Every structure is written in structure tokens, then in C-alpha cells.
Chains A and B, each alone.
Chain A
Amino acid sequence: MRSPWLRLSLILAMAFVGTEASSRPPGDDPPADGSALDTPQLALPCGSLAGARFNLEPRPDPLPQDGTAVDFLPDGGLGGGDLVVGAANDMRLLTSGQGVAPDFRGVPGLSSQTGFYVHTDGSDPNPCTVDLEGGLASVPHPVSGNPLVGVGYPAVAAYPPGQSFYVADTRVGEGETSESAIGVFRTTAAILTDPARCPPGTLSESQSRQCWPTHALVDLGTTFTRFNQYPHLAIDERALGTGVGAGNVYISGTEIGLGPGHSSIFLVACRNDLSACSPPVTISGSDYAGLSHVSVRPDGGVTATYTVQTGGLTPTPTTADIKYVACLPRGAPAAVVCAPATLIARETQAIPFSVFDAQGPLDSNKFVLNTFPRHVHRQDANGTETYVVWDRCKVSTAVPYPGLTFVGRCVDSDIIMAASADNGRTWRFAGLDTSAQDQFQPWVSRDRATNVIHIGYYTTNDDVLFQHRARVVLRQILPGGSTPDLPTAADVVTTVPIEPNGDPVLQGIFIGHYLGVSARSGASGMRVYVHYTHTAELGTYNGVSDPEQNNHLSRIDY
């Protein structure tokens, strides 16, 4: 048996095995629409229709990009423009290494790589154009020397005090050997804007090594003992030396190992320069856990969210226990010290994704989608507030028919949130967007300067008849006296919706697991970049045009 088969088995097992936890239903607070910020401005010509395609792929026979992440250094580019770094799954052969991504709806054999895309030129009238791109290069295994190749699922973070960027991705042994790890890469604004090291255009693998010269492999294992997937990454943005853990890089991920039902969340702390990392710490206890997200509090505390999914086989609908872990930094390479995970909510109306059900999980879309919580912290009048957002179904996913109760369809997905002002000891719940049709894949970012939280997500709200094509929208949560504070009305980022089936390779089964949002303030005000999957750019196939997936970038100025 080759490794993909085991991986598939593990993925399938993960979908249906779980552990019990105490129940605490979310509240039924009405959807909130707060007062709007100053009128946002889409940064034309980023393009209000579908943003700007953020890759340089030629149009004949293109391949998909999806699973998008983004961050930026305000005013860090050439000529005073923003320096924007995106990352995504990219099915092109950007490097020499091929490996198998852990989850394209459970389809093994589908090779993807980790693409990066950079906007450097501040003089460009379009602040969303891509100046250079490439694939994160393979990294040799420290013991075997075998190359570990990036297969996507990237996360991106910028560190303004050090003018540096970090990307984490999933790594597997080239040629489907059994090594497994999470890759972490570091570069600096100085390198990215140096055309001698990062020339414009699509970089070769050797150029990519110059452009991303620093890397580490964390949670090294094998497919058989410790298979890694779904990494996330966060940085303590405090300046180096200002506190324990300041500048540390934290990586969380899912680790699937031996034994029945073994799937756990680990957390690793690395030094800012990646010169040393802690051993992985399991933070999910005995939970059969997945889909982690890591964040850093203003005081340097490290937090993670994850889910424990159960059910999903008729007649039992999918349930997701949404958990929260609070950790104390010790200063990398010392490992963090974490309290046991606590339950935020038992989500009994979780998105019912299953690799066994080819037509789920939504009524009108079948791409990979899970109830996947993301969280962020901010400082306001209530102290440090924590906001957790996730996708869920508006109603029960158990739809009884004579002889068969369907549990694999969510007929209307929403986004709700939980907020805490005491680092997860108590939570209050509210709707973020519970309007008609589907809202999904929320991503959350906080502008440290203003403490405004920005939440981007897809919505089919405007596709009144068919609930199929989604636009990207953005809401804010301004600092205020409540917990949670009210979100603003949605700002439309893309007036042209994505056609999820519009890709000849993926054909609707996958649009990425997430989109990316980054909000920061610079000399010219607060900017929000949103990196997402779109199908508005056509490819050509034997000379005829068809839609295909690309990573697109939009900027909204406040």
C-alpha cells in the first residue's frame, strides 16, 4: 500500500470518529448589524468586480490555485507601497517536487504545491498586481536527507517589527515517501524587494530558495506514525525582547498517528529567526481533534481553537465541539505551557462534510467545507476580547425522508461568533451573518493599530434563485463597550461572484479550505487585503475558453 491510501484511510477515519464532550449550545442571538465605519473604498484598480488575479500563470491550459492566505507590511514595498505576500495551493509544477496533498476531498493522487505571490512595486497603480511568484522549495529531511515538498494548505504572517514574513505549509516526502512535517519559511522585506534575489516573474526553484532562505521543519514524522496536515501560524508581534515569547512564531497543526482515533492538535514555538523550535506539544488532550487555528493575545498569551467532530452518518447529524486552549509562552525554543482545552460550544448544526457523500455538504455546492473556527484577540474597553467565528447550518442537517434521514446536506449555512472577555472562561454568542442562502469560510484579522476586527467570507446571499455562486464580503467589529460588539453591515468585496464549478480539473469539489484576510494600518490609513479563490479569469483549452480557479486579491481602504 502506498502512502496516499493510508492517508486517505486516516482522513476518512477522522471524519467519523470522535470523542464526547459536554454540551453547551450557542445562543440564539439575532444577527447583528451595527453602524458602519467610514465608507470603505475598494482600492481601484484592484478591481471591485473580482479583484485582481494574483498570479502570473499563462492562460493556455492553466491549473487551479486555491486555499488562499495573505499578509502584508504596510508601506514595506518599493516606493512606499505595501509589500503583500500571498500563498495558496497551486497545482502548477512550480518546483521539482511532487507530493500528495492531504485533503482534496479525500482524492489521493492529486498533486499540489505551495505557491507564493508577492506584490512589491509601490509605484504600480494597481496595488494588487503580482510582481513575482513561485513555489516554496523542497527542504531536505534532517535525518534521511530526502526532500520534503510543499503540498499546500499554507498560512502566512507578517512581522512588522522585523519587516519579515513567514509561511507555514504541509510537507510530505517527494515521490510519496513517508516523511511528513510542517514547513516554516522566513524571508524579509529587504530580500523580497531585492530584484537580484527575488527577480520579477515566476521564480525557479533555485530562485525560490534565494527568496525564502530560511526554513524549519516542525513535528517531523512519517505518514505511518505522525502525519501532519492543516497547519496554521501566528506571530507574537511584540518587538523582540519586550516580553517572554515576543517575536516568537507559533505553528499549530493536525497530527494523525497510530492507534484508533488518534488525531490531535500540536503547537510548536519557534524563534523569530527560525533558528530553533520547541518540540511539539499536544494541546488537545485525548480529543480526536482537527482544524486548528492559533492566535496570540496582546500580552503574548498563545491560544488555539479546534474542533472535535462526531456523527455524520444517517440518522445522526454532524456535531462539532468547538474548543479553546490558552497557553503561556516560555520563549522559544522552550515549549508553551497550556491549560486543558475548554469547550466553547457544542455545535449541533455543524457543516456535514463527508468524503463518502459526493454531493454534499451544501444544497447547491459540494466542495470541501467544514465547521472551522478561527479566532482573534483585540484590546478594547472591555480589556482583551477574543472573537471566534465559524460556519454552521441555520437548521438541523437531519432531513427525514421515508426510509432515510439525510444528514449530509446543509440547506443554508450561516456564520456565528462567540466572544469572551476573560480568555475563554465565559462566552457570549451572536450571529455574524445569518441571512438567507449560504455564508461560509470566515477568516478573521485584527488591525493592531485600531483594534478593529475584520471578517471576510463568501456569501451566496445575492444568488437568490440558486444559492450557488458566492461573492466575497467583509464585515468589521469596532471596539466598543459590549462583548461581543456589533458587526457592521457587509461591504461587498467582489460584485462578480465565483462559480464554484468553474474549473475543469476540480469541477466543484474543492475551492480551498479558506480565504485570507489581513488588516493593518499604515501611513495612508487602514487597509484590508482579501485573498480568495475566483473563477472570473478564463483559461484556454485547445483554443476555447472556460473558467478556472485562480487566487485573486482585493484591497479595501478605510
Chain B
Amino acid sequence: MQHLWSVRTRSVATIACVLAAAVATRSQDGSDGHRTASRAAGALLTANGAPIPPFGLIGYLASSRARILRQHSNHPMLRAIARRLGEPVNDGAPAPEAAVSPAASAVPAPNAVVAGCGGGVGTRFNLEPRVAPAVAAQNGPDVDFLPGAGLGGADLVVGSANDLRGLFGGIGDSTTGYYVHRRATPNPCSPDFDGGLPSFPSRLTGEVVFGGGDTTLEADPARNAVFVVDTRFGFTVSTLGLFRNAGARLTNAVACPDGTHDGPAAASCWPVHTDVNPRSDALNVFPHLAVDPRPIGSGPGAGDVYTSNSLSILSGVFTVLTACSNSLSACSPAIVVSGGDRRTQPSHVRVRPDGGVTVTYVNVEEGPAPDFRQLYDIKYVTCVPQGAPLVPSCAPARLIVREDQPVPSRGGGLGGGSLAAANFLITTHPKHEHRVDPSGVETYVVWDRCKVPNIHGGDKCPDADIRMAVSSDNGGSWAFATVDDGGGDQYFPAVRTDGTNVVNIAYMSAQEDGGMNHRARVVLRQISPGAATPDPVSPAALITLIPMDPSADFFFGDAYIGSYIGIAARLTASGRHAYVHHTHTAMNGLYNAVPAPEQNNHLSRFDY
């Protein structure tokens, strides 16, 4: 392996030199530690020193893999990223006209994959035409639904995803796509309308900020509402866009007509929004969202909406938490919940049945030379709600476990991948969920990890598994178990508890790829309530029979398939439904009249 070491070391040195030449940097106080932090996380430095973390759509668009897009596109967000990276921008090219959405206040308000959704690959959950230039990639999906709130008693299903139509003049120039099913049709996964979350002027600088993807969402059945959060990346401001919509509006064909919404139509359909934690001196990226489902007035924080995200400033990348009222009429300031950790990576926020707010995140440490192997400290934060716009009161983060076999964020192969046989951006990303069972309130944390120590200098995982930690005392102690350590890669676990306290875990698995470890199917496992902590994990149910090839997209190639998949599980009048929103490449686009595969967001439903 000495030979390979030479290969790797020199390649890394080459890449580092290229980046050093391409990215403007400057010397500032404390920059040494800052750069160490950035290196540990594999981040790109912007011209003002704040690193852009190497995950999510923003992380991809800021990477060398997306250089051509940055160089040639006139989209405002791409220009903003290029400017922040110190790259030349063609100011002569016209930017798209912004369809600005003014802010408005809301009125509070037998186990089987469902065949109608399509057992093979689910149903493509967008209305994108098939012919270029109208066709572009969707990935990074999330989903939730309001049981029975659609037309004719159907589930009202809302998905979100990164949507590249927005980079090429479509869906209001937003790269945050939304997709809604509202009709009682034979296929409960078909989209009735889609669009891009509208742009709006930042309340901090006035700059119009466009939907930048990396979106998550959650439904709020108690108030018949849906919340979506995304990243907004301008040149003068970086913020989160937080949107609220009512079930009644989403089923109103006048407010939200069928078909694909342009910018004005999207602004009409999604009038309620706010920008969360707008900053001119920092970058807000990779948000997550949770809603306290309790009836308003039933306790402090009931109905509040929480966002967590990575906040990148000169001195590091921190995890912050914000609390907003259910109407989005007021939000707290963002508070740092990661303490002195300054190399944090994607966070995940949930609400306990008692209204307690919890956050998981990773802080990346580096091992010793010469490998500088990444070590992922998986942390857990508990907070007591105070009722938005008051900030929650959070205890210091506690270590769940030091994951010394992470899926590293620094891709180590010459293709840039962190996995041995797939190149897309991926890193260990813990997600968590609470449920009540005979053991009390249990907390399940799931994450992707490497079955064995990373290879080739520590930046490449030859076999990814899904692992979990479980606590019945709100993080005071943890028990560990395996969700799936089968052969091949398992990754992108998404977790959600239904109304019967069954924990649902959906993820991608390349186990059945005949040893090639490249094409992945979506599978689902469940953890029923029981006396143990953790309770046993069920066998895997196949959500997609046809695997997804992660190398098949006109735009992304094999470099990016989103950073997660989404799952929603709820009790409905017709039983328990789990919707899984995932990326697939089984549908072709037409490019100069020739078909070729491309990424789409697909929806599947599993009834149990």
C-alpha cells in the first residue's frame, strides 16, 4: 500500500494546490485554527473566510465539480456563490426577473408497497416535461402529509427537493421544488401541482433571495398546515427561507392550480414565509425543521416551529437553533447549540412528546498525521422550549459516540467519492426521532458509518452500514445496535415515528447489486414499541424493486444525488401510511431528441 499512499498523497496535494490557486483567501487573526477546522470538515473557503461546508446542494454548487455551472450560468444564486468564492462573474449577463413574494402572516390554522404508486421505482413526483431544455435534475427530497386532508379524503402529500429547473429559467428561478398530491386518484403518489418556493427580499439587506434547495419539511396536522425550510444564498445575505401553507390553501385550485407553477403562481400559492437568521457576515446552510405537534396553548412551545442549521462564520461552522411561532409571525434569534464545537456538520432537530426540543449534529475532529483521519463526534442537545419568539434554553451538547469509522466528508478517490464504488457527495449524517413505548420516551438516532476502517489514507469507505443509538433517558445514556450491516453500501437513513409509535427507517441499500456496490434500492425497516431499548428492528421491506443508478444524470453525472431521502409516517383513517420520497434515475429525459437517464424525485407509499 505504500505505492497507493504515494498516489493518494500526491493527488491530494494536487487538488489542494488547484484549490489554493482557485480560491481567494486572506490572512486573518485566528485563521490557522480556522483553516484547520475547514480542512477537517473538507470545506471550501469563501473570500471573506467563512467556509462553505461540503454537503448539500450549496456544498455541491460551491465545489469544483460545479465549476462549469458557476462559470456560465447567470442565475443569481450561482453568481453569489461564485462571488463569495472569489471567482469572476459575468456581470453583463442579465439575471432573471424576480417574482417577489411579499411576506404575509398566516391565520393559525397488511404491509405492502402501494401498487398504485408503482412497485418498481415508485412514481415520479414532479410534472417536469421530458424534453430539454425543460428537463433538469431533482434530488434531496423530503416529504410529509396531512392524513385525509386532500380532496375526496385523500392524503394531502407535500414533497420538497432540490430542483435544477430553477437554474435554467423554470419554476420562478427557485431551486427549491415543491410537489403536491391532493386528489383521491388511483395513484396516491401522483403529483397534482409543483413549482419552486418563491423568492422574496431579505428583511436584512433587501436583496431578493431565491430558493436554494437543501430543503426539509414537516406537516402539522393539529393546525392542518405544512412547513418547509430551505437555503437562501445571496451575495449580501445568507438566510433560511421558512414557509407555511395551509391544507385548505393547498387544496384550493384557485390559490394553487394544477400544473407547474411559475414564479407568480408560486408566490400566490405560498404567501406565508419569513427569513430565519439572515446574516451578512455568515452563511446559513443545510437546515432542518421540526414542529411541536401539540395543540397551541397546551404547553410552552406548543405549535412552535424549530429550525436547526449549520452557521458558517470566520471562526468555524456551528450548529444553531431558531424557534418560530406557528404563524411565522415571529422568530427567535438563532442560538448556538454546539458550544465550542466549530467543525460541525449537518444537524437534525426533533420535538419530544413533552415539547422538549432536541438536536443532533456531528463535530468533525482529525486524527493524527499522516492520515488525518476524520473522527465524527455525534452530539445530542436537549432544550427546553420557552415559547417562540423566546429562544429555547439548551443544555450543553453531550457526546453520543465518537464514530471512528465515519463515511468521510472528504472524498478520497480520484473520482472524489467517499464510497468505494459511488462518487456522490455523502457523509455520516445522524438523524433522530422520539417515540413513546413501555420504556417511556425513547430516542432513536440513526447514522451511516463504515463497516471497517476507511481505506486509502482514510478518506474512502469500502462498505457503509446503518447504525443506531437509543436512549430512554433523553440522552443520559445510550445503547447501540445495528440497523443494517448487510453487504454493500447502506446510506441516507431517514427516520420518522407514526401515530402508533412505530419507528420507520428508510434508506438506500446497494446490497443486491451483485457485488458491484453501486446501484441502490430503497428499503424500509420498522421498530415496533416494546419493552427493550432498543427494540428489535424488522426485516427490510423493499420500497423500490428497481435500483437507482447514481451515475445517470445529464447535469450531475455521478457527483450528487442529494444528501438524503425523506420519509413520513402517520396513522390515517385507512391505516398507517409511510411515504418515502427518494431520488431515482429510471426516467429518461430527451436531449436533442435522444433519451438519456436523469434524476427525478420519486414517491412511494408503504401501507402497514
Using a CB–CB distance below 8 Å, which chain A residues touch chain B?
Answer: 4, 61, 63, 91-93, 98, 104-105, 107-111, 314, 356-360, 363-366, 394-396, 398-404, 406, 408-409, 411-412, 436, 465-469, 499-510, 535-536, 538, 541-547
B168 and A402 contact, CB distance less than 8 A: yes
Give the CA-CA distance A363 to B455 in the complex, in Å: 29
Q: Chain A contacts of B592 at CB under 8 A? A: 395-396, 398-399, 411
B460: contacting residue among A98, A365, A400, A504, CB under 8 A: A504
A468 and B455 contact, CB distance less than 8 A: no
Give me the 9 closest cross-chain CB pairs, A-B, nearest first: A507-B415, A109-B10, A359-B557, A507-B413, A466-B549, A542-B452, A402-B169, A363-B596, A411-B596
B515: contacting residue among A366, A411, A545, CB under 8 A: A545
- A161 → chain B, closest Cβ, in Å? 40
A358 and B552 contact, CB distance less than 8 A: no
Q: Chain A contacts of B169 at CB under 8 A? A: 402-403
Decide if B75 is an interface residue (CB 8 Å cutoff).
yes
B517: contacting residue among A357, A411, A502, CB under 8 A: A502
Chain B residue total in the interface (Cβ 8 A)? 69
Given contact pairs A403-B72, A403-B74, A507-B415, A109 touches B452 in the complex (Cβ within 8 A): no
Q: Chain B contacts of A499 at CB under 8 A? A: 421, 516, 518
Give the CA-CA distance A111 to B14 in the complex, in Å: 13
A357 and B68 contact, CB distance less than 8 A: yes
Known: A91-B3, A357-B68. 10 other contacts (CB 8 A): A91-B4, A110-B7, A358-B559, A366-B415, A399-B592, A409-B554, A411-B554, A501-B551, A507-B413, A507-B415
Decide if B562 is an interface residue (CB 8 Å cutoff).
no
A364 and B549 contact, CB distance less than 8 A: yes
Given contact pairs A111-B6, A403-B74, A363 touches B552 in the complex (Cβ within 8 A): yes
Give the CA-CA distance A503 to B460 in the complex, in Å: 11
Q: Chain B contacts of A404 at CB under 8 A? A: 69, 72-73, 168
Please, could you name 13 A-B residue pairs with CB atoms under 8 Å apart, sorted by A?
A: A109-B10, A358-B65, A363-B596, A366-B551, A395-B594, A401-B168, A499-B421, A502-B421, A505-B456, A506-B414, A542-B453, A544-B451, A546-B463
Q: Chain A contacts of B249 at CB under 8 A? A: none
Give the CA-CA distance A339 to B196 in the complex, in Å: 61
> What 0/1 pattern do residues 1 to 15 of B give for CB contact below 8 A with A?
111101100110110
B557 and A360 contact, CB distance less than 8 A: yes
> What 0/1 pattern do residues 441 to 460 of B give for CB contact below 8 A with A?
00000000001110110001
How many residue pairs bridge A and B at CB < 8 Å? 215
Closest to B556 in A: A359
Give the CA-CA distance A384 to B6 in the complex, in Å: 50
Give the CA-CA distance A510 to B413 in the complex, in Å: 12
A541 and B72 contact, CB distance less than 8 A: no
B594: contacting residue among A98, A364, A411, CB under 8 A: A411
Give the CA-CA distance A510 to B423 in the complex, in Å: 13
Q: Chain A contacts of B557 at CB under 8 A? A: 358-360, 363-364, 366
A466 and B552 contact, CB distance less than 8 A: yes
B414 and A505 contact, CB distance less than 8 A: yes
Q: Chain B contacts of A104 at CB under 8 A? A: 414
B462 and A110 contact, CB distance less than 8 A: no
Give the CA-CA distance A3 to B422 in the complex, in Å: 31
Using a CB–CB distance below 8 Å, which chain B residues touch chain A?
Answer: 1-4, 6-7, 10-11, 13-14, 64-65, 67-69, 72-75, 93, 132-133, 136, 168-169, 413-417, 420-423, 451-453, 455-456, 460, 462-463, 487, 515-519, 546, 549, 551-559, 585-586, 591-598
Give the CA-CA distance A401 to B592 in the complex, in Å: 11
Given contact pairs A359-B558, A507-B417, A541-B462, A91 touches B596 in the complex (Cβ within 8 A): no
A63 and B558 contact, CB distance less than 8 A: no
- A384 → chain B, closest Cβ, in Å? 37
Q: Chain A contacts of B594 at CB under 8 A? A: 394-395, 411-412
Given contact pairs A363-B596, A402-B168, A404-B168, A507 touches B423 in the complex (Cβ within 8 A): yes
- A240 → chain B, closest Cβ, in Å? 41
B414: contacting residue among A468, A507, A536, A541, CB under 8 A: A507
B462 and A544 contact, CB distance less than 8 A: yes
Give the CA-CA distance A4 to B14 in the complex, in Å: 10
Give the CA-CA distance A469 to B547 in the complex, in Å: 14
Given contact pairs A395-B594, A403-B168, A92 touches B414 in the complex (Cβ within 8 A): no
A359 and B65 contact, CB distance less than 8 A: yes
Q: Chain B contacts of A542 at CB under 8 A? A: 452-453, 455, 462
A547: contacting residue among B1, B69, B423, B515, CB under 8 A: B515
- A30 → chain B, closest Cβ, in Å? 17
Q: Chain B contacts of A394 at CB under 8 A? A: 594
Q: Chain A contacts of B553 at CB under 8 A? A: 363-364
Give the CA-CA distance A542 to B553 in the complex, in Å: 31
Q: Chain A contacts of B552 at CB under 8 A? A: 363-364, 465-468
Q: Chain A contacts of B2 at CB under 8 A? A: 93
B73 and A467 contact, CB distance less than 8 A: no
B415 and A508 contact, CB distance less than 8 A: yes
Give the CA-CA distance A501 to B586 in the complex, in Å: 18
- A541 → chain B, closest Cβ, in Å? 4
Closest to A466 in B: B549
Q: Chain A contacts of B4 at CB under 8 A? A: 61, 63, 91, 505
Closest to B93 in A: A403
Q: Chain B contacts of A468 at CB under 8 A? A: 549, 551-552, 597
Give the CA-CA distance A538 to B423 in the complex, in Å: 18
Given contact pairs A359-B558, A366-B557, A399-B592, A107 touches B462 in the complex (Cβ within 8 A): no
Give the CA-CA distance A523 to B63 in the complex, in Å: 59
Q: Chain B contacts of A436 at CB under 8 A? A: 595
A502 and B14 contact, CB distance less than 8 A: no
Closest to A107 in B: B414
B518: contacting residue among A363, A403, A502, CB under 8 A: A502
A92 and B3 contact, CB distance less than 8 A: yes
A505: contacting residue among B7, B64, B93, CB under 8 A: B7
Given contact pairs A363-B552, A401-B132, A504-B413, A535 touches B453 in the complex (Cβ within 8 A): no
Q: Considering residues A105, A500, A505, which has the most beta carbons from chain B within 10 angstroms of its beta carbon?
A: A505
Give the CA-CA distance A536 to B557 in the complex, in Å: 22
- B326 → chain A, closest Cβ, in Å? 38
A507 and B416 contact, CB distance less than 8 A: yes
- A438 → chain B, closest Cβ, in Å? 9
Closest to A535 in B: B516
Give the CA-CA distance A110 to B3 in the complex, in Å: 10
Q: Chain A contacts of B72 at CB under 8 A? A: 314, 403-404
Given contact pairs A359-B559, A411-B594, A505-B456, A93 touches B585 in the complex (Cβ within 8 A): no
A356 and B67 contact, CB distance less than 8 A: yes
A395 and B593 contact, CB distance less than 8 A: yes
Closest to A540 in B: B462
Closest to B489 in A: A546
Q: Chain A contacts of B558 at CB under 8 A? A: 359, 366, 501, 508
Give the CA-CA distance A107 to B93 in the complex, in Å: 33
Q: Chain B contacts of A356 at CB under 8 A? A: 67-68
Give the CA-CA distance A372 to B89 in the complex, in Å: 35
Q: Chain B contacts of A504 at CB under 8 A? A: 413, 420-421, 455-456, 460, 462
Give the CA-CA distance A314 to B417 in the complex, in Å: 27
Give the CA-CA distance A408 to B585 in the complex, in Å: 20
Q: Chain B contacts of A357 at CB under 8 A? A: 68
Given contact pairs A357-B68, A365-B551, A468-B552, A547 touches B168 in the complex (Cβ within 8 A): no
Give the CA-CA distance A30 to B556 in the complex, in Å: 33
Given contact pairs A107-B414, A364-B549, A404-B168, A538 touches B515 in the complex (Cβ within 8 A): yes
Given contact pairs A364-B549, A499-B518, A110 touches B453 in the complex (Cβ within 8 A): no
Closest to B63 in A: A358
Given contact pairs A92-B3, A359-B558, A502-B517, A411 touches B451 in the complex (Cβ within 8 A): no
Q: Chain B contacts of A401 at CB under 8 A? A: 132-133, 136, 168
- A365 → chain B, closest Cβ, in Å? 7
Closest to B590 in A: A411
- B572 → chain A, closest Cβ, in Å? 33
Give the CA-CA distance A314 to B184 in the complex, in Å: 46
Q: Chain B contacts of A469 at CB under 8 A? A: 516
